[in-house]
């Protein structure tokens, strides 16, 4: 008896789940892992893919449709992601780096008011220590990055330098990342941007699920109210996810990040719907048409437009208002993302728990290490964090556990990283460190001394460059792995102290 396509499909997906359970047992969340950990032999990456058969089946299910390019799964994931965050729109792209490029490019649109548009020679304030593709788009749109220093405790921008970086008529935006899941001082940055009428782009690629709280009265002064999208107010504080306070934010779905689509990213439009159309135009070849793939004549006047020097009635599907790109992901990736998004609350909690376990285990090594703190925290103890007097709080969805080797310690961060590597424990420096010392930026300044501007001497960024590294906190780490990391680091310190 012949079987229907639906019956065959069900069988395929059941087999895919069976296969994944056998072939990918080492990639499930730590809470579900049954794979034995062998100290010194089982590698401990600093980050990695965490998934089950549900994601693999979703990918295969999408492949069976063979639509391939962004379609129904993409539309659903964009809707679900924006709903989770509480933003107006999320637009999927093929990477977090592309998301940053689109986020800044859309601010160059001629459809914006002239005083708000970023044009060649305008300046964008950013932070010196971080990942290069937070800054590269500024250069790529022919604007000028202005680097301020980094706080060595939080890894985030030294906000006291914002006013010094500002130049009337030239500064148009602030674009910076929440470092390793730690929100930057959103209160101070947002107040600065409101006062100076600047765009704020939050690079949220390392911080999906992190929260920031602000006293209600302060939030109201910034135009943020209790009924704003996000977490319900408790009456004294307004709490929102990072990536929802500024005008635009970005996400990365590269394997080490909070969710993975293999590759992929998103641009979040926080509260200004017209920006969605500009973002989609730059993502989709620069076209003026906003029809989704496979759809025509959404506007109802496909052959009635007259734009540029084109004849009236020229097909709107082939009218281009921007010099854009093709930066869409595949629908298969979005199908994976929809399953990953269901796991996000558990992933976030695992990252917090893993950070806390490392902090407790290494807490008495403060003679050789200085430990990172959440923004607005003034200290840490067994009972949790102590907080400053600002009334603001950070609740971090940690991307990593950062330590800095103190001056006078009997080893360097490089020596510690080499030892960890020899013991099969993954670690990373704080991305590019002080970016102005990277070869690309050294060459950029040689080619054009005015290509970027630096505020002060950047001692904080230099210290992060020379002293910091971070361990993983991702939800694939088991308690045995974390305890082994703690043991290896403690033994290394004792050995070096002699």
Catalogue the active-site residues.
257
Check if the beta carbon of residue 485 is closer than 8 Å to that of residue 473: no
Torsion of CA 483, 487, 488, 491, to 10 degrees: 170
Distance of CA 216 to the CA centre of its chain: 26
Instruction: Strand 393-395: give its sheet, edge to edge.
Output: 237-241, 211-215, 393-395
Torsion of CA 362, 364, 365, 367, to 10 degrees: 160
93 SS3 class: strand
Give, in order, the Cα–Cα distances in Å from 222 to each of 35, 189, 228, 410.
Answer: 50, 11, 12, 47
Q: Which of 84, 83, 81, 101 is nearest to 92 (CA)?
A: 81
Burial class (CB in 10 A: 0-12, 13-18, 19+), 309: exposed
DSSP state of 239: E
Q: Which of 53, 19, 13 is nearest to 339 (CA)?
A: 53
Cα 204-397-248 angle, rounded to 5 deg: 20
Label residue 380 left, alpha or beta by phi (over 0 means left) and psi (-120 to 50 means alpha): beta
DSSP state of 116: G
Helices within 197-330 (DSSP H only): 216-221, 274-283
Distance of CA 224 to the CA centre of its chain: 23
DSSP state of 41: T
How many residues are present in the chain? 498
């Amino acid at each position: 008896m012949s079987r229907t396509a639906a019956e065959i499909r069900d069988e395929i997906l059941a087999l895919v789940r069976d296969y994944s359970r056998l072939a990918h047992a080492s990639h499930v969340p730590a809470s579900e892992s049954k794979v034995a950990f062998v100290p010194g032999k089982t590698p401990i990456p600093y980050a990695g893919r965490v998934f089950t058969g549900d994601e693999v089946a979703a990918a295969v299910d999408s492949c069976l449709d063979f639509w391939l390019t962004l379609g129904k799964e993409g539309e659903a994931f964009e809707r679900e992601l924006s709903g989770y965050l509480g933003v107006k729109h999320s637009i999927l792209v093929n990477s977090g780096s592309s998301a940053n490029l689109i986020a800044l490019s859309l601010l160059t649109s001629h459809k914006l008011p002239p005083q708000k548009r970023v044009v060649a020679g305008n300046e964008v304030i950013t932070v010196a220590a971080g990942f290069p593709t937070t800054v590269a788009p500024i250069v790529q749109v022919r604007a000028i990055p202005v680097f301020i220093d980094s706080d060595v405790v939080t890894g985030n921008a030294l906000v006291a330098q914002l006013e010094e970086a500002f130049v009337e008529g030239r500064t148009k935006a602030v674009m910076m990342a929440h470092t390793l899941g730690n929100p930057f001082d959103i209160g101070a940055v947002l107040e600065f941007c409101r006062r100076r009428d600047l765009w704020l782009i939050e690079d949220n690629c390392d911080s999906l699920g992190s929260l920031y709280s602000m006293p209600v009265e302060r939030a109201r002064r910034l135009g943020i109210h209790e009924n704003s999208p996000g977490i319900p107010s408790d009456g004294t504080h307004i709490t929102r996810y990072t990536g929802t306070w500024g005008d635009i934010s970005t996400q990365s779905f590269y394997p080490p990040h909070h969710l993975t689509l293999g590759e992929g990213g998103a641009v979040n439009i926080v509260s200004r719907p017209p920006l969605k159309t500009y973002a989609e135009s730059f993502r989709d070849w620069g076209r003026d048409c906003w029809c989704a793939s496979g759809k025509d004549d959404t506007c109802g006047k496909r052959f009635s437009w007259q734009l540029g020097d084109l004849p009236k009635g020229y097909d709107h599907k082939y009218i281009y208002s921007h010099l854009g790109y093709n930066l869409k992901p595949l629908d298969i990736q979005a199908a994976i993302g929809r399953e990953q998004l269901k796991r996000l609350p558990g992933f976030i909690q695992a990252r917090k728990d893993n950070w806390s376990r490392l902090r407790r285990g290494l807490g008495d090594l403060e003679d050789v290490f200085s430990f990172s703190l959440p923004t607005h925290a003034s200290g840490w103890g067994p009972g949790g964090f102590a907080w400053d007097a600002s009334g603001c709080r950070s609740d971090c969805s940690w991307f990593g556990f950062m330590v800095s080797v103190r001056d006078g310690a009997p080893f360097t961060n490089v020596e510690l990283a080499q030892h960890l590597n020899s013991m099969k424990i993954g670690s990373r420096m704080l991305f590019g460190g002080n970016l102005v010392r990277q070869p690309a930026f050294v060459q950029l300044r040689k080619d054009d001394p005015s290509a970027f501007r630096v505020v002060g001497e950047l001692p904080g960024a230099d210290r992060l460059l020379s002293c910091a590294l971070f361990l993983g906190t991702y939800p694939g780490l088991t308690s045995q792995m974390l305890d082994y990391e703690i043991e290896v680091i403690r033994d290394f310190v004792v050995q070096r102290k002699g």
